Chain A
Amino acid sequence: MQSNNGFYGEFGGSYIPEILYASQQQILHAFEEIKTDPEFIAELKETWQNYSGRPTPLTFCKNLTEHFGGAQIYLKREDLNQSGAHKMNNVIGQALLVKRMGKKRVIAETGAGQHGVATALIAARLGLECTIYMGAKDVKRQYPNVFWMKQLGATVVPVAEGSQTLRDALDEALRDWSSSHEDSHYLIGTTCGCAPFPEMVAFFQSVIGEEVKEQSKAQFGQYPDRLYACVGGGSNACGLFLPFLEEENVEMIGVEAGGKGLELGQHSIRLSNGLGEKGIAQGFATMFLQDKSGQLQDTHSIAAGLDYVGVSPIIAHLAQIGRIQMTYAMDDEVIDACSLLLKKEGIIPALESSHALAGAFKDAANLPKESRIVINLSGRGDKDIFNVAKAMNDQTFPEFLEDYLADYKEHLNNDEEA
């Protein structure tokens, strides 16, 4: 979606310290160039295809459809990307841009670690130095991803400031960029931040919706009636929705994280129930969860990737003008939706994506049988194994962990002695 000088209605813009002005302008110009450069687009498509496995399938879910007895349910399989999430679409695009700008190092923030891993993967492949900022709390919650980032050669820096989550990681990435802008690129993971990041990330993610357009025509001869996506920073939602913006008959539903409840600190709902308020922080204007004096507040979601205090200015704008409907799903509904998909379709969804499932499942039974809905399965759930086991109160998992730990320690001891 084309911005108006970086703005989408009253949201977006570029509110950055003066030190970043030149680097921001450089990205702005580089992005303007590549948008229409056939050579760049060809390389992008080639890398998407041969490195990430695009196009991803549009999968009809017969069992789920019968289970609800309403709309026909399709999944857009972003879980099948290299790295297991849609994050790959964006990091490939930006990393190719980094090459073109002649920079040698990338900095990224990560919450769940999905964007961190995706960035570390492409950095390894393209020979870029890579530093990932991650809230100290998230480092603990998502250690397997930290492990892989390190193995891929990235430096992972735990951020112990503030709430020690994604928003603090983003602040720290901006601070690094303020020092290192001359040879480093800030590779933001979602449709947030100063212009042109929201527009650029949405541009790279729009491959999702473009493919759905073709696939839906091919599979059932028309566009879907309704689209569902979870909304953290908003990139997978922008990716699915924006190509359909002009199609008035296509309804769009964004699902935020309801967490444990609607009290401040228990959720990440910025766009429903009047919980978020307009603010300007982290480089852009959007709806933030904040107190009356404008201090950003803590958030919660069972899905680390949705646990963010702001939201894409593009989504905030489209929600404000009513083009997108916003709803939310609670932690327990999300686990139920995840469980249902496992049992009915043999697909393991990420907890982030399970929010989109939960949102769609609430509507499915009440929609006409001939209607078709597409849910963005933004990522696969392997990374969530510990959290899902805990949420499902699995009794045998602790035993496995204890045995594994004992064995691990013995192995380390033996190694030391040898």
Chain B
Amino acid sequence: MSQLANYIAQKRQQKPILSMTHVVYGYPTVQESLSWMTRLLEEGVDFIEVQFPFSDPVADGPSIVEACHVALEQDLDVDSFLNDMGKLSRDFPDSRIVLMSYLNPMYRYGLQKLAKRAAEINILGLILPDLPIEASANYIAACKENQVDPIWLVTPVTPKARLEMLASQASGFLYCVARSGVTGHSSHEAKSKQTAMDEYLAHIKAHASAPMGVGFGLRERSHIEALLGKADIAILGSALLDAYNQGGQEAGIKLIKDLFQN
């Protein structure tokens, strides 16, 4: 079993659903983002999903786009980023860090090198939303070799056969996008169709042996409660960033407690 899936299975024995909180590296500054990550880990979140910013984040909505652009006003490089993550992962061995970025910065860094470095610093999952599985042969091989998991996404409009293929290929966990569109609130929201969540998740579960994480649009306790028994991880992204923007770390932590504490 993959190390990541193992970790999730063990943690799930104590908790009905695990928390994954998203943070943009370098927002508003590198130091402040590291302090925020530290705080989240101190509070005992199960995962942090750390996004290395890219200038053109096409799968993200306004909150995360803005954060990435602010972060990029500094010179960010992947090596220092990974060093910073390595330190966090040593300091907080009870939680896990998952890395998210768009393809180009990681492609420039080298996907082979990325997988190797990730393994060295105990980052067990990589999310690259604009790298489709069809174009991933080398990346998958590099991940296998280093025992880190490439995390694939499925969506409510992923065709049935493809969804089953992705579910069966999934290792670590499968990232189940909850609705059409980009992350967070955006002007595009009204155009997307509603998803019948229960059916969608049940269908995935029937085909996936890996644990399931659900993200996109989770903002309220009821959203998390609706996932109990149907998914393993609830991923909190833009809602957390919005709370952080409004009331700093305290507001962010309050949101997490409101959503996850029983």
Contact = CB atoms under 8 A, between A and B. Distances in A.
Q: Do chains A and B interact in one complex?
A: yes
Interface of A: 13-19, 21-23, 25, 157, 161-162, 167-168, 171, 174-176, 178-182, 184, 279-283, 288, 290, 292-297
A17 B127 CA distance: 11
Contacts of B158: 18, 21-22
A18 B188 contact: no
A157 B182 CA distance: 17
6 contacts: A19-B59, A162-B56, A171-B56, A171-B58, A180-B191, A295-B72
Contacts of B66: 161
Interface in B190-205: 191-193
Interface in B123-144: 129-132, 135
B104 A280 contact: yes
B86 interface: no
Given A14-B132, A18-B129, A175 B56 contact: no
Interface string B61-94: 1100110010010011110000000000000000
A15 B56 contact: no
Contact of A294 (B104, B129, B152, B154): B104
B246 interface: no
Main secondary structure of the interface of A (DSSP, over half): mixed
B23 to A, nearest CB: 19
Contacts of B61: 175
Contact of A295 (B59, B105, B135, B193): B105
Interface residues of B, number: 49
Given A21-B162, A282-B58, A182 B65 contact: no
A21 B156 CA distance: 11
Contacts of A288: 104
A182 B193 contact: yes
B35 interface: no
Contacts, number: 134
Interface of B: 54-62, 65-66, 69, 72, 75-78, 102-109, 129-132, 135, 152-155, 157-159, 162, 177, 180-182, 186-189, 191-193
A89 B218 CA distance: 43
B241 to A, nearest CB: 15
Nearest to A295: B55
Main secondary structure of the interface of B (DSSP, over half): loop
Given A17-B153, A167-B56, A295-B72, A279 B180 contact: no
A279 B153 contact: no
A-B residue pairs, 9 tightest by C-beta = A294-B108, A179-B181, A179-B188, A180-B191, A294-B105, A179-B192, A17-B59, A294-B104, A18-B153
A270 to B, nearest CB: 14
A168 B62 CA distance: 12
A19 B181 contact: yes
Most buried by B among A15, A157, A184, A279: A15
Contacts of A283: 58, 130
Contacts of B75: 293
Nearest to A291: B75
A161 B65 contact: yes
B78 to A, nearest CB: 7
A279 B56 contact: no
A293 B180 contact: no
A300 B124 CA distance: 41
A175 B58 contact: yes
Contacts of A178: 58-59, 180-182, 188
A282 B191 CA distance: 21
Given A162-B69, A175-B182, A175-B186, A18 B56 contact: no
A280 B157 contact: no
B219 to A, nearest CB: 17
A178 B76 CA distance: 28
A279 B162 contact: no
